[in-house]
Amino acid sequence: MKLTDIYEMQQEYPASEYKGFKLYEEDEFEDDNRKIWHTVTGPDGRNLGTLRHTPYQNISPEAFSKYVDFYLAQGRFPGGEDVGQSGNLNNKSIMKLQGRETERG
């Protein structure tokens, strides 16, 4: 299988789905590492952008559900500042979001 085949599969099949939102993960290979870009589409199929998640980790289904619940409550996806840190989130740090941030107010 060629890298172009993998790329096409990544664009066609979401890595995760939750409440109609779909997560697509695209690999970028460099000489010394691999980065993963995390893009979300909404229930209407519109591209909602790239998540601020570390590019060195796939997003777990549990973490993706936190991103979506936060988006539904706040109208935006969370970043490090929402859990008291700088930089990108990861699977562990996003789990620090409490009900307050993920409930509509």
Question: Domain extents for the chain?
Answer: 3-102
pTM of the model: 0.84
Determine the Cα–Cα distance for residues 76 and 72; give it in Å rounded to an integer.
Answer: 8
Q: pLDDT at position 17, please?
A: 96
For the CA atoms of the chain, what is the radius of gyration?
14
Q: What is the pLDDT of residue 98?
A: 75
* Greatest C-alpha distance within the chain: 48
Which pLDDT belongs to residue 7? Answer: 46
Predicted confidence pLDDT, tens digits, the chain (105 residues):
454 544 454 556 899 999 999 999 999 998 899 999 999 999 999 999 999 999 999 999 999 999 999 999 999 999 999 999 999 999 999 999 876 566 655
Phi-psi region of 88 (alpha: psi -120 to 50; beta: other; left: phi over 0): beta
Core vs surface per residue 8-40: b (16+ CB within 10 A) or e: eebeeebbbebeebbbbbeeeeeeeeeebebbb
